[in-house]
Structure 1
Amino acid sequence: MARSDDVTEDMGGHRALTPRQRERRERILSTTYELLAEHGYDGVSMKMIAKSAKVAERTLFNIYSSKDLLIATSARERSDGIMLSIMDNVGEGELAYFYSLADTLAYETLAAPSLARGLATVLVRNPDLVGLGEIYERHVGEVLKDFAERGRIEAHEVSIICNLFAMRIVSLITLWSGGTIADNALNPHMRLAVCQVLAPHLAGDLQAEVLAEARAAVAAIRAVETYP
């Protein structure tokens, strides 16, 4: 089925939406968030979304050819918004952005757990539809490029680190969604993951700092989780 102009823009095309298309798109995505938060991935259907968003079901399928594509678009929009908000929480220090990355992702996940679980389903089933790697390249990659320019990491490692971040974050949210990671352990797990990704690519004082932060994250995890 051919995609309409609406989804061409959603998937990163260059054709601008009309005001009417943009309002409809925002209404559909907003409705999708609300229904996912209330019913979860399996409890939401295209028919339900169309009815709640006040669009014809046929129109919804013309714009988004499947539920997975619609929810993938929702996941991409939410992920992009979260990435933009990370800078608002950055503290002092060269590694502050990466700690903020961990803290912000954990906070946003726990702030809307049912929504996060619904979006996590499509992240696992159809990661290419979401384009999470591209999102990390665009946001985290800019910070890493600055590190490379200052000689803190090798320039050719930027893409690798971005992909590792994306994979580790998806894995953590999936484990949390399935109940393997408790709510109060998600933040330190996020911090540990960030440190584990960064540590092999840093040297000197920054590597020492990130290893110390990793040890602190492990201690925080042990404080709230029971191990044999």
Structure 2
Amino acid sequence: MIDPTGAAPGLRERKRLATRRAIQVAVLELVADHGVDGVTVDMISRRADVSPRTFFNYFASKEDAIVGDAPDLPMEAADAFVVGQGPLLDDLLELLDESVQTVIVDRELVRRRRLVLRAHPDLFARRVASMREYEEGLSKIVERRLAEAPAVADSGDDESSVASRAHLVALVVMAALRHAWAEWLDDDDEHHADVLRFGLRARMEASIGDLRRLVSREV
């Protein structure tokens, strides 16, 4: 996980991330060549230059390595969002940015995974399920913020109404995140200033900005 203080990861963390990435690259390369059933943990370990024991320190199965990690919602960032005083979408952008940093954000790796998952609907379904859990977690955090907002408290809205609004916010913001993710993956201009300087963060800002402009006026 990325240090919430913004400090660069230490040597041990960099090695851990490098090993985790190597395992994922290895399994995706092998599956592309041999199919899921034709790949074993021993094959993955040899390709990644790790022992099978090390493989299982990182992933419970080859399928887990193929699907990869869903983003996490860091507790400190979530708590900061709940008590945030800024515009809701702006504060959500900061939370999402912190969240995305909890996984390996590597366009080459993500592109490889996308190709494999498209060819294996059962694994794609597992990835969708993990992202749905993430969405539900985000909805709960938004619900906490809305429930504690003075305007909501004074309105007399019941818990079900607040939960419904929070779910709507989470759905819409997740759609914007997916849009940003797709734009980032499909951007082939490696010299584009935004890609070099900000990468996915810039795409997230652009998608949230477009969403804000669209909902603030009739189109």
The Cα offsets for residues 60-95 of structure 1, whole Å up to 9 and x where unpaired, read as 9xx53x54x4322x322xx12xx3177188676253
In structure 2, the residue matched to 1:165 is 173
Report the secondary structure of 1:43's partner residue: helix
Q: Is the CA contact 2:180–2:206 (under 8 Å) kept in the aligned structure 1?
A: no
Structure-to-structure mapping, 1:1-228, within 5 angstroms: 31-36=19-24, 39=25, 42-45=28-31, 46=39, 47-51=42-46, 52-55=49-52, 63-64=60-61, 67=63, 69-72=64-67, 74-76=68-70, 79-80=71-72, 83-84=73-74, 87=77, 93-95=86-88, 96-104=90-98, 112-120=106-114, 126-130=123-127, 131-150=130-149, 151=152, 154-179=162-187, 184=194, 186-195=200-209
Deviation for aligned residue 1:129: 1.0
Equivalent-residue separation in structure 1 for 2:75 and 2:108 (angstroms): 21
Equivalent-residue separation in structure 1 for 2:131 and 2:111 (angstroms): 16
Aligned length: 165
User: Structure 2, unaligned stretches of length 5 or more?
Assistant: 1-15, 32-38, 154-160
In structure 1, the residue matched to 2:4 is none
Letter in 2 for 1:138: G
The Cα offsets for residues 88-141 of structure 1, whole Å up to 9 and x where unpaired, read as 886762535313035446777896333443455567665541311211221353
TM-score with structure 2 setting the length: 0.50
TM-score with structure 1 setting the length: 0.49
Equivalent-residue separation in structure 2 for 1:34 and 1:174 (angstroms): 23
Aligned-pair RMSD on alpha carbons?
4.7
Letter in 1 for 2:140: G
The Cα offsets for residues 127-170 of structure 1, whole Å up to 9 and x where unpaired, read as 54131121122135313342145329843132233233333323
Q: Is the CA contact 1:41–1:121 (under 8 Å) kept in the aligned structure 2?
A: no
Instruction: Report which of the two has the higher share of helix.
Output: 1
The Cα offsets for residues 38-66 of structure 1, whole Å up to 9 and x where unpaired, read as x487424445423334118xx89xx53x5
User: Structure 1, unaligned stretches of length 5 or more?
Assistant: 1-27, 201-206, 213-228
Deviation for aligned residue 1:189: 3.0
Pick closer, same or farther for the CA change 1:134–1:102 going to 2, 3 Å: closer
Q: Percent identity?
A: 15
Q: Is the CA contact 2:26–2:44 (under 8 Å) kept in the aligned structure 1?
A: no
Pick closer, same or farther for the CA change 1:160–1:148 going to 2, 3 Å: same
Pick closer, same or farther for the CA change 1:139–1:35 going to 2, 3 Å: same
